[in-house]
Structure 1
Amino acid sequence: MSKMVVNQPQPVMDSQESDEWGSGICDCCQDVPECCFAFWCCPCFACITTRDYGQCLCLPLLDMFGVVPPVTMSMRVSMRQRYGIKDTMCRDCLFATFCNSCSWCQMSREMKRRKIQVLLVGAKNT
């Protein structure tokens, strides 16, 4: 009699280094090409960052329909929760509204710094 062993996928994470953002909202000099891309074509940059985060590629395009960009703010809140970063929704709202490009750059830098990858594997019985 043979047994089939199936391992469920587990997220692969680095250790949590800090409960603060790894860079400030205006630390664009840490990755100049990325910040130039975000400044000149923020919708494209936001879509790519959202895709790399594991969400729908076109989700940031919904930000064009509101005063406070809901997707940018939601991504900041989600990222803070995923990485254990302490901050406030008020600051997320302010950064999403008044520093949109810088906010997306900060989130992208954080993803690179934390290097948290979630690997999802599907198993099929044949």
Structure 2
Amino acid sequence: MSNTMVITQPQPVMVSQDSDDWGTGPFDCLDDLPSCCFAFWCCPCFACKTSSEYGQPLCLPLLEIFAGFIPPITLAMRVSMRERYGIRGTMCMDCVCATFCTSCTWCQMSREIKKRRIPIVMVSAKNA
């Protein structure tokens, strides 16, 4: 009889969303009312917070001060988020959302980050 010890490492627990649609629409403010109020009353601050949560520089959205009619940072973030999460859509629709309802677009992106955040649970091993 042989003594065989089998050791397996714990694997990270990952939860992913399989949908290729946005988790919420741009006007679903009741899904996260505090965030939408924050975005409505101080969109630049909310955009900076959301940008940071997405992994981009904190003050990146403030560059839109120098933009023209179409907000380039909002558009770029929305396109990037669609690409990262595999969400269906077109750049034309992203442009329409970013241009005509910037705060709603930032709220939608914030809700998407919260819904698609992939938690990784690390299990600590005992020291032998």
For the superposition of Structure 1 and Structure 2, which TM-score range results when normalised by the shorter chain?
Answer: 0.7 to 0.9
Structure 2: which 5+ runs fail to align? 1-12, 121-128
**What is the Cα deviation at residue 64 of structure 1?**
1.6
* 2:6 corresponds to: none
* 2:99 corresponds to: 97
Secondary structure at 1:94 match in 2: helix
Structure 1 stretches of 4+ moved >2 Å: 12-16
Change in 2 beyond 3 A, CA 1:117/1:42: farther
Change in 2 beyond 3 A, CA 1:98/1:13: farther
Q: Is the 8 A contact 2:16 2:118 kept in 1?
A: no
Secondary structure at 2:25 match in 1: coil
Number of paired residues? 108
Secondary structure at 1:25 match in 2: coil
Map residues 1-126 of structure 1 onto 2, 5 A cutoff: 14-66=15-67, 67-116=69-118
Q: Distance in 2 between matches of 1:64 and 1:13?
A: 38
Q: Distance in 2 between matches of 1:88 and 1:117?
A: 28
What's the TM-score once normalised by structure 2's chain length? 0.79
**What is the Cα deviation at residue 57 of structure 1?**
0.3
Instruction: Compute the RMSD of aligned alpha carbons.
Output: 1.8
Q: Distance in 1 between matches of 2:78 and 2:54?
A: 11
**What amino acid does structure 2 have at the position aligned with 1:27?**
D
CA offset digits 1:2-54 (Å, max 9, x no partner): xxxxxxxxxx8532320000001100000111000000000000000000100
**What is the Cα deviation at residue 117 of structure 1?**
6.1
CA offset digits 1:39-86 (Å, max 9, x no partner): 000000000000010000000001122221100000000000000001
**What amino acid does structure 2 have at the position aligned with 1:74?**
A
Q: Distance in 2 between matches of 1:98 and 1:55?
A: 23
What's the TM-score once normalised by structure 1's chain length? 0.80
Structure 1: which 5+ runs fail to align? 1-11, 119-126
Secondary structure at 2:89 match in 1: coil
Over alpha carbons, which structure has the higher Rg? Answer: 2
Identity among equivalent pairs (%): 66
Q: Distance in 2 between matches of 1:36 and 1:20?
A: 24
